[in-house]
Structure 1
Amino acid sequence: MMAPATESPRAILVLGNANLDVIVGHVDNWPERGTESFFPHGDLRIGGSAANTARVLQRLGARSGLVSAHGGDFAGAAIGQAFAGVRDRVASLDGPTGFTVGLLHRPSERTFLSSVGHLDRLDAAFFRRALDGVALEGALVLLSGGFAMPALIEGHRALQDFLRDRGAELAIDPGWPNGNWTDTELRQARAWLAASDHALLNDKEAAAIAGTVDLEAMIGALADALPYGATLIIKRGPKGAIAHRAGRTIEVTAEALDPVDTVGAGDAFNAGYLDALAKGMSLRPCLERAVTVAGHIVSEFPRAASPIDPARQSEPA
């Protein structure tokens, strides 16, 4: 679906995980047990794929909100303060906030170690309650980080049906399952694709779900898993991104950068894409804006909170 351009952009809601991110690097060799090592780069910030996307949407000035939760600790207080806008629906739950340690590797890879914390209580019923009274007709809704919320996995597809039945245009970014892909998780991911208007996958996720690393075959398999007319996006990091819709494939290259921290790059891409989509842009400008916004974010270290002008080319900090 593609809404016509309007003076008032559509509302965007991001449903999913919010947690604390502890970023450290670069970790080229794992330290010996019982020792201490110091690293030149570190950042402590709000994280989680959904919260990352929602933060960038704030910086883009989008009509957006986050639907999520946090624990009852200092990290939770920070999340609650960051998402206290008119469209935010962020609950406070007892117990610790989930957190992720992001290990940076040269040249631009990262590894995650995560503690689930409060995220194991975010099931489909939680999100339906959080959306009580929210008008969803015509809204763009991103369901992000499904595999990071154990309690949501079984009810993920039912939540998608709930959202679409109420008139939302639905995008998903499922993330990576715990460890690696099992046959069960592959079936789940394909079922989620079948109920999506936009699938936002990185190249590793796309290859796993499609069962091939051949790009043409990958696009074909994933397009077949989506409803006809839905949009497939494959995020390719420094190579840019590919979009496929109704038999048409578009590729956009990325500006050459030398980032310190690529954590959240795909989430920033999602924000740029949704922001452009909400403004009624066609597919290529949506993809170009997404690549530009992702490049802007990875050029920052530590991450900022200032407004982003996506019309300007990103420049290394």
Structure 2
Amino acid sequence: MISGVGPALVDRICLIDDFPPRGGQAIVRRSEKHAGGAAGNVIYGLSLFGVRTRFFSTIGDDEDGEFYRTEMERAGVECVFEVLECETGRVDVYVDRHGERTFFVFPNAAGRFYPYLRDEHYSWGEYFYLDPFPFEGSLNAHITIAERAKEHGKTVVLNPGYPYSKLGLEALSPLLKNTDIVFLSRDEYEMLRGIEQMVELTVITLGKEGSMAIRNGERTRVPALECEVVDTTGAGDAFAAGFLYAMMSGHGLEVCLAAGNFTACHNIQRLGARNFPKKEDLDEFIESYPK
């Protein structure tokens, strides 16, 4: 069982051919609306894989808030939301024909989160997955939540993303001292060199080169699978969901990394951040992977 604490964001994905020069113009060929937010994506995927999940966030009292709740509950996620009298958080995502994307974030309700979790919330489950909210108070809120989660004996998983990674190790240290597992992109790892000495397990996605895990100074690396890139939005979140599912199922690091690669590969061949393989397909991949 796992709880996620991160921003509830509704993605509006716009497909373009190429990004224009500054001051230029690009034609939107197609647009779609999806529920998003990194922690929300991971929790959504794990729920589809049969894991019991909860998600804590702030949403607005509006159509997007209902849309977000409905999408999560349809996947089986138990939503414990604070509903605010404002708009729900939103992200406009522009994706070019090479699958590269640029984000424009409207924090709205996601920028007004506070640690409203009660003792019974911390007592539930085994894991807490944390992802930055788009406002300055996010780090302090997550420090509070991580401290309480560790007091209740939980495993704390952090996806610092760019917002936390850019702060550096010193600023993150109060959160990292109560963190067990960290998921990073290659660029984020470069900003946080040495983080592997501060947490039990560091997991790094390497794009076309696959992924790597560092534990007790030992590095485990698994190459990526060959796949056509349509949209890289949510690739890291899909990876984290696949990795965590394999880990919760009792598999070793190499299998966990491979499961993450498999899930990410499935995701980037489709538009949007929440394209996950069927549970039986992921299970079959894990079971057939050389042990």
* Higher fraction of helix: 2
Which one of 130, 141, 149 corresponds to residue 155 of structure 1?
141
- Structure 1 unaligned blocks of 5 or more: 1-10, 211-220
Secondary structure (helix, strand or coil) at the match of 1:297 reads helix
Cα displacement (A) at 1:304 = 5.0
**Is the 8 Å Cα contact of residues 120 and 149 (structure 1) preserved in structure 2?**
yes
In the alignment, the residues of structure 1 paired with residue 44 and residue 176 of structure 2 have an alpha-carbon distance, to the nearest angstrom, of: 25
What are the Cα deviations for residues 260-308 of structure 1, in whole angstroms up to 9, with x where unaligned? 1110111111111121122222211111111111111112235557844
**Residue 30 (structure 1) shift:** 2.0
Task: Determine whether 1:224 maps to 2:207.
Answer: no
Aligned to 1:7: none
Could you tell me which residue of structure 1 aligns to residue 163 of structure 2? 177
Paired residue secondary structure (1:262): coil
* Structure 2, gaps ≥5 residues long: 286-291
Q: For residues 74 and 105 of structure 1, what CA distance do their matches in structure 2 show?
A: 28
Between the aligned partners of 1:193 and 1:135, the Cα distance in structure 2 is 18
RCO (CA 8 Å, sep 6+): is it higher in 1 or 2? 1
Q: Secondary structure, in 3 states, of the residue corresponding to 2:162? A: coil
In the alignment, does 2:191 pair up with 1:208?
yes
The AA in structure 2 aligned to 1:23 is I
How many residue pairs end up in the alignment? Answer: 282
Determine if the alignment matches structure 1 residue 310 to structure 2 residue 277.
no
Alignment pair present for 1:30 and 2:59: no
CA contact (8 A) 1:140 1:278 kept: no
Matching residue's letter, 1:201 = L
Aligned partner letter, 1:20 = V
- Alpha-carbon deviation of 1:257? 1.6
1:148-197 deviations in Å (ceiling 9; x for gaps): 3433222322321111111111110011129x93xx55532344333211
Q: Give the superposition deviation at 1:312.
A: 4.9
Range moving further from structure 2, 149-158 or 65-74: 149-158
Pair 236,306 (structure 1): closer, same or farther in 2 beyond 3 Å: closer
Q: 1:94 to 1:105 in 2, by over 3 A?
A: same
- Give how far 1:91 is off: 2.8
Give the aligned partner of residue 66 of structure 1. Answer: 55
**Is the CA contact 2:7–2:134 (under 8 Å) kept in the aligned structure 1?**
yes
The correspondence for 2:69, drawn from 73, 80, 84, is 80
TM-score by length of 1: 0.80
RMSD over aligned CA atoms reads: 2.6
Deviation at 1:147, TM superposition (A): 5.0
1:280 aligns with 2:250: yes
Task: Name the residue aligned to 1:12.
Answer: 2
Alignment partner of 1:234 is 2:204: yes
User: Within 1, Cα distance between the matches of 2:127 and 2:50?
Assistant: 15
Instruction: Show the counterpart of 1:297.
Output: 267
Pair 1:198-2:187 in alignment:
no
User: In structure 2, do the counterparts of structure 1 residues 149 and 48 end up closer, same or farther at CA, with 3 Å as the change threshold?
Assistant: farther
Which amino acid is 2:63 matched to?
A: F
Residues 80-137 of structure 1: per-residue CA shift (max 9 Å, x gap): 11233474322322110111111224534322110110012212x22x24xx423536
| Distance across 1 between alignment mates of 2:89 and 2:54 | 20
Change (3 A) 1:196 1:305: closer
Contact residue 7 and residue 133 of structure 2 kept, 8 A: no
User: Match for 1:100: what amino acid?
Assistant: V
Change in Cα spacing, 1:86 to 1:107, as seen in structure 2 (3 Å) is closer
Give the structure 2 partner of residue 141 of structure 1.
128
Q: Deviation of residue 79 (structure 1)?
A: 1.1
- State how far apart, in whole Å, the 1-side matches of 2:32 and 2:275 are: 11
Identical residues among aligned pairs (%): 26
